[in-house]
Amino acid sequence: MIRCPACGHENQDTSKFCSQCGSALTPATPERREERKVVTIVFVDLVGFTARSETLDPEDVRTFLSPYYRGVREELERYGGTVEKFIGDAVMAVFGAPVAHEDDPERAVRAALAIRARVAEQEAQLQLRIGVNSGEALVTLGARPSEGEGMVSGDVVNTAARLQSLAPVNGILVGEMTYRATAHVVEYRETESVTAKGKSAPVPAWEALDVRARFGADLRRHTSPLIGRETELRLVTDALARARRERSPQLLTVVGVPGIGKSRLVGELFKAIESDAPVRRRSHLLGALRDGQGAGGHSRV
């Protein structure tokens, strides 16, 4: 029901005018909901461009920055990130909201490395600094970053901005949670803890150098036994046996919320496949799994 702001009379939701006094009605704005989520923030900023832009015409600045903005956005979105805002020559992006993946920190670091490589290749006259940090944030559900609405807030954002400002030229600094989540696939150089403005204690930081594994987690790295998924494991191995026996493809859809063990289950299937030399694993299997990870989504194998 819509309450008339003039007389207080309640009207139907579809009413445009009050049936009591005839005043125009404004539909009630839906209340924004918020939730806490673990996200990864990426800050990208150009080095020395503020001073350089003082000597340029505003149209020249726009012409110079447009390809940079476009390239940064393409790399961030290619890895599943959401650009929240452009601040001058800086870009802030979020991984883990509104869509979450099991490997958001890895996606964020890979995007940062791709941005650095792209800028070095296509915009040789530009230099940048990048900060990446993971942590808990307050996420506004339904926010529209394309219309200037803020989506995330919290110390994780401030720390990412501080890491970016303290990164070496053309360097990428990441926080501790990001480092721990990606150390198995990204090569890092350990640095001294950085003293960040506004932080009560030094912030541990690592410099990302390069990737040392293909995109996506190594699904076979687990050495501990799989527990509590005997029924599901039997389903996938039975499907594998049926594919071998009948020489026909089998389709399975693995559905579950992030962290429930979809990747591990498919990893056990990989082990079964690789234990039998005549059976060949196809590359699209990993791609399908990767694309469906997290977000409460599904993976087809």
Annotation: CATH topology of 34-211? Alpha-Beta Plaits (3.30.70)
Position 296: which residue type? G
Q: Residue 288: its pLDDT value, please?
A: 43
Q: What is the longest distance spanned by two Cα atoms in the chain?
A: 80
**Cα–Cα nearest to 284, from 249, 233, 239:** 249
Q: Phi and psi of 182, rounded to 5°?
A: -125, 0
Q: Residue 296: its pLDDT value, please?
A: 44
Spatial neighbors of 259 by CB under 8 A, at least 6 apart, are 102
User: What is the Cα–Cα distance from 121 to 159, expressed in whole angstroms?
Assistant: 29
Q: Token digits for 44?
A: 């990208």
Position 210: which residue type? D
Q: Residue 272: its pLDDT value, please?
A: 75
Q: Residue 193: its pLDDT value, please?
A: 85
3-state secondary structure the chain: CEECCCCCCEECCCCCECCCCCCECCCCCCCCCEEEEEEEEEEEEECCHHHHHCCCCHHHHHHHHHHHHHHHHHHHHHCCCEEEEEECCEEEEEECCCCCCCCHHHHHHHHHHHHHHHHHHHCCCCCEEEEEEEEEEEEECCCCHHHCCCCEECHHHHHHHHHHHHCCCCCEEECHHHHHHHCCCEEEEECCCECCCCCCCCECCEEEEEECCCCCCCCCCCCCCCCCCHHHHHHHHHHHHHHHHHCCCCCCEEECCCCCCHHHHHHHHHHHHHCCCCCCCCHHHHHHHHHHCCCCCEEEC
**Cα–Cα nearest to 288, from 211, 219, 186, 213:** 219
Q: Phi and psi of 117, rounded to 5°?
A: -65, -40
Nearest-5° angle of CA 47, CA 49, CA 52? 135
User: What is the Cα–Cα distance from 126 to 29, expressed in whole angstroms?
Assistant: 44
Q: Residue 218: its pLDDT value, please?
A: 52
- Enter the pTM of the model: 0.65
User: What is the Cα–Cα distance from 54 to 63, expressed in whole angstroms?
Assistant: 15
Q: Residue 30: its pLDDT value, please?
A: 54
**Residues linked to residue 186 through DSSP beta bridges, in sequence order:** 211
* Cβ-based neighbour number of residue 147 at 10 Å: 6
Q: Residue 146: its pLDDT value, please?
A: 63
Sign of the dihedral through C-alpha 206, 208, 213, 216: positive
User: What is the Cα–Cα distance from 282 to 285, expressed in whole angstroms?
Assistant: 6
Q: Which residues in the chain land under pLDDT 50?
A: 217, 220, 277, 279-297, 299-300
